[in-house]
Amino acid sequence: MTRDQCVQLDEQDALRTYREEFDLQQGLIYLDGNSLGPLPHRVRKRVADVVEAQWGKSLIRGWNEGWIDLPRQVGEKIAPLIGAGPGQVICCDSVSVNVFKLLAAALQLRPGRSVIVSEQNNFPTDLYMAQGLAGLLGEGRCQLREVTTDTLADNLDESTAVLMLTPVNFRTGECHDMAPLVQAAHKAGALVLLDLSHSAGAMPVVLDAANIDMAVGCGYKYLNGGPGAPAFVYLAQRHHERVRQPLQGWMGHQSPFEFETGYAAGPGVSQFLAGTPAILSMSALDAALDIWQDIDMQAVREKSLALSQCFITLAASAPALASLTLVSPAEPSARGSQVCFSHPMGYAMVQALIRREVLADFRAPNILRFGLAPLYTRFVDIWDAVDALRDIVGSGEYLKPTYLQSAHLQSQHQQSKHQQRNTVT
Ligand SMILES: *Cc1c(COP(=O)(O)O)cnc(C)c1O
């Protein structure tokens, strides 16, 4: 595949105009949209308005002029992207906090069952939150069973309250074959909680049709809501009557402004609100979501797979890159919206790429991760990124002392089990 062919693919791309929605610097290749989406122009305008006109001029009247309804409004904008009918999605808190609320709710919806089943290589925060809940409730009421991916179904039984799954693995981009797992969980009488952080905005998701019970997802990755944008909660209608969640803040109360001393849960998903919504960042996410209004998620998926296939094909045809091992599935349908390779010197290679304005990231212990966001990633970006990587590896540029030194530091960090500073999620 030549660079000209990539240019041609971009010209034929039905989603090509969406790139203009984003503030992307000329010459920079951004392959980290699965960690932090770039700034949409309309978000810059909206945030300026919220600060100047709403907070600045309306002051406390802002709550009556739309702020109080924002969590619900943003939830309703997310709903069509994840195959959810109205009244089941609300925007609040972080994914981590929402996992805690939903796991607790799942245990409460399945009395007599204490086990949360999840996979060892799930995103760590999901496991940490489950461990925290287990520590709080005690073993008799809550236990986390962390198992390997291929034994998930075997571990579902009459003690399982909830199967907690992340459909796309954050490290490798591998997708679960969801339907059989969901079916097995339901057959065992358990609920299913999905973490859509790497799915929402990256591929079609069908929560209602797939009979999913509960889900969480991230606002700052493919949804482009900005650093620390609030997350969302989905709870299927059929659970609304009976559900309770333990972080009983006043915003989830039936009537927060009555200031009653006893808690009475608000209707449906509204009880998943805890404290006052973060209006500045939620407004940013609200504006960013308007980009999706007319977008067909199937077209997003098709372009995403074409981009990843392009990356894989180009990398495979570069002799200089023979030492990199493809970690993402070669089978397109099993692939999320990213491509990953492993190499013992992966950290140094990513540092060298970043120096050349190709932003990708590194995931311990040895993974080079390239996120593909079909709304703004172009085929020509893929060509240029692989070309840069080929040059860095072929010429041995990544072996320069500065990259090696940082690679050495990185491995020391890992040994001392310290978290790397410059990467988040
Ligand atoms: C990014 C990500 C999160 C982030 O959680 P926060 O609490 O919002 O920081 C959680 N789970 C998965 C799978 C992720 O990829």
pLDDT tens column, 73-129: 999 999 999 999 999 999 999 999 999 999 999 999 999 999 999 999 999 999 999
Beta pairing, strands 358-359 & 29-30:
parallel
Looking at ligand 1, which atom is closest to the CA of residue 195?
A: 13
- CA–CA dist 188, 161 (Å, integer): 9
Is the predicted pLDDT of residue 160 greater than 70, yes or no?
yes
Q: DSSP label at 94?
A: -
Residues 195 and 289: beta-carbon distance below 8 Å: no
- Euclidean distance between CA atoms 263 and 255, whole angstroms: 9
Amino acid at the residue 174: E
Extended strands (E) in 57-107: 89-92
Pocket flag, ligand 1, residue 166 (CB < 6 Å) = yes
Atom of ligand 1 nearest to the CA of 218: 8
**Spatial CB neighbours of 390, under 8 Å, sequence gap ≥ 6:** 318, 320, 321
Exposure of 406 by Cβ count < 10 A (0-12 exposed, 13-18 middle, 19+ buried)? middle
User: Which among 103, 125, 128, 361 is the best mutation to test ligand 1's pocket, defined by most ligand atoms within 8 Å of the CB?
Assistant: 125
Both structure tokens of 94: 């972080």
Can you tell me the distance from the alpha carbon of 82 to that of 218, in angstroms, rounded to the nearest whole number? 12
Q: Kindly state the percentage of the chain with pLDDT values over 90.
A: 94
Q: Band the pLDDT of 404: cuts 50, 70, 90.
A: confident
**C-beta 96 within 6 A of ligand 1:** yes
- pLDDT score at 420: 47
Contact assessment for residue 176 and residue 167, using Cβ atoms and an 8 Å cutoff: yes
Please tell me the residue having the least CA distance from ligand 1 atom 1.
425
Taking phi first (over 0 means left), then psi (-120 to 50 degrees means alpha), and beta for anything else, what does residue 253 get? beta
- pLDDT at position 422 is 45
In the reported structure, the alpha carbon of residue 102 is separated from the centroid of ligand 1 by a whole-number distance in angstroms of 14
Q: Which residues are part of the catalytic machinery?
A: 123, 195, 220-221, 369
CB 153 within 8 A of CB 119: no
The CB density around residue 122, as the number of other CB atoms within 10 Å, is: 18
| Start-end of H helices in 110-250 | 124-137, 178-187
Which amino acid type is present at position 342?
A: S
**Is residue 324 exposed (0-12), middle (13-18) or buried (19+ Cβ within 10 Å)?**
buried
Q: Would you call 354 helix, strand, or coil by DSSP? A: helix
Q: For position 409, what pLDDT does the model report?
A: 67
Ligand 1 pocket mutation pick from 96, 129, 165, 224 by most atoms within 8 angstroms of CB: 96
Percentage of residues of the chain with pLDDT beyond 70:
95
Nearest CA to ligand 1 atom 10: 95
E strand or H helix at 86: none
Mean pLDDT of the 312-336 span: 97
Chain centroid to Cα 324, Å, comes to 26
Taking the centre of ligand 1 as the mean of its atom positions, its distance from the CA of residue 125, in whole angstroms, is 7
d(CA 232, CA 282) in angstroms, rounded, equals 11
Which two three-digit tokens encode residue 405? 């030194």
